[in-house]
Chains A and B, each alone.
Chain A
Amino acid sequence: MEFEEMKKIWNNQENEFYFGINEAALHKRIQVKRKTGLHISNTTELMLIIVNFCTGIFMLSIHSTKPSANTFVYLLSGWMFVIALFVLISRLRRLKRELRFDRSMLGDLEHALAVASYQVRLSQLMQWSVVPAGILIIALMWNAGKSPWITVAVLVFLIVTTFAGRWEHNIYKNRKRQLEILQKKLVSKG
C-alpha cells in the first residue's frame, strides 16, 4: 500500500470517533472518588479532634502537678483546644452540607468536588496551624531552659512536618483539579 492510500484511510475516520464514553463506568468512578474523599476527610477530622483535644488535656494535667505556672503551656493547650473545636465545627457543617447533593452523576461529582475542596482547606489550615504551635513549643522549651540542641531538633521536626503538610496539601489540590476538569467536561457535554 502506498503512503497516499494510508492518508486516505486515515482521513476517512474524521467523521466518527473511535472511542465512546461509558457513562455508567464514569459514574462508578466518581462515586469511588467521592467515597474515598469522604473516608479520608472523616478520618482526618476525627484524628485532629482527638489528638489536639487529648494533647491539650494531657499538657494541662501534667502542668497542674508542677508548682510554678507557665503561660506558654496554657497558650499551647488553648491553641490545641481551638484547633480541635474548629475542626469539630467544620465537620458538623460538612455533614450538614452533604444532604443537599442528589445521587445523579453530576450531583455525585459536585459532592466529590465539595469534599475535595474541603480537604484542600483543611490541609491548608493544618499547615498554618503548625506555625503558632511551633512558636509556642520553642518558647516553652526556651523558657524551661532546655538544651539548644533539643530545641534545634524540635525545630527541624516542625520544619519537616510543615513540608509533609505541604506535600499532602498538593495531593488534595491535584485531586480537586482532576474533579474540576471532569465537571467541566460533563457540563460541556450536556
Chain B
Amino acid sequence: MTEKEQKQIFNEWLHNYTGVAFKIVRVYAITPMDRDDLFQEINIQLWHSIPAFRNASAVSTWVYRVALNTAIKWVTKERKHNQSESLDNEKQVLYENNTGTDDRLAWLYEEIYKLEKTDRSIALLLLDNFSYKEMAAIIGISESNIGVRINRIKKHLITKSIKNEHHGI
C-alpha cells in the first residue's frame, strides 16, 4: 500500500468515525488531559492499522476494534502513571460542546464510565447495535461470555436508572 492510499483511507476514516473515537474517549478518559492523550493515541493506532485492514470485516467493526483495544491498553498504562504525574495547566485541545446536551445522555456516559473496562466496550457496542458475533470478534471473548455480560450490564443500568429517577433522570 502506498502512503498516498494510506492517507486517503485515513482521511475517510477520520471523516466517518471521529464520532466513534469521541464516544470511546468519553467513556475511558475523564480529565481533559487524558481525553486529549487517548484521542491522539486512538488516531495513531488507526493510522498504523490501515495496512493490516483486509476488508474481512466492516470498516466500523475494524475501527471499533482498534479504538477499543487502544483505550483498554491506555487505561491499564494510565493507571500505572497516574499517581506520579502532575496535572499541568495547559489548555486542552478537546473541549466539551455544551449545546443541547441531554442530561440523560450525560448520565448514561457517566454510568458506562463506572463499569469495568471490558464492560464499557460491550456497553458502547451494544448501544451502537453491534451483534454478539461482532462484539466477540472486536473484544476477543466468546459470544456466550458477551451474552452474560450484556445481561449484567443491562440489569445494572436499569437498576441505576430506577435509583436515579427521583433526580429527574
Contact = CB atoms under 8 A, between A and B. Distances in A.
Interface residues on chain B, size class = 35 or more
A6 B44 contact: no
B14 A18 contact: no
Contact of A6 (B7, B18, B108): B108
Interface string B65-96: 00000000000000000000000001111111
Given A16-B99, A181-B47, A10 B91 contact: no
Interface stretch (A25-33, A75-83, A155-163): A25-33
B40 A181 contact: yes
Interface in A150-177: 177
A54 to B, nearest CB: 38
| Residue in B26, B92, B101 with the greatest tally of chain A CB atoms within 10 Å | B92
B91 A1 contact: no
Interface string B27-49: 00000000100011001100100
Given A16-B97, A177-B44, A181-B44, A9 B105 contact: yes
Interface in B109-135: 127-128
15 contacts: A1-B162, A9-B104, A19-B94, A19-B95, A19-B96, A20-B94, A28-B91, A178-B44, A181-B40, A181-B43, A181-B44, A184-B7, A184-B47, A185-B14, A187-B11
Contact of A7 (B11, B22, B23, B127): B127
B157 interface: yes
Contacts of A9: 102, 104-105, 108
Contacts of A7: 127
Contact of A17 (B22, B40, B157): B22
Residues of A contacting B: mostly: helix
Interface of B: 7, 10-11, 14-15, 18-19, 22-23, 25-26, 35, 39-40, 43-44, 47, 90-97, 99-102, 104-105, 108, 127-128, 154, 157-158, 161-162, 165, 169
Nearest to B100: A16
A22 interface: yes
Contacts of A29: 90, 93
B97 A24 contact: no
A21 B105 contact: no
Nearest to B150: A3
Contact of A188 (B11, B26, B40, B128): B11
Contacts of B23: 18
A182 to B, nearest CB: 8
B96 to A, nearest CB: 6
Given A177-B44, A178-B40, A6 B97 contact: no
B97 A20 contact: yes
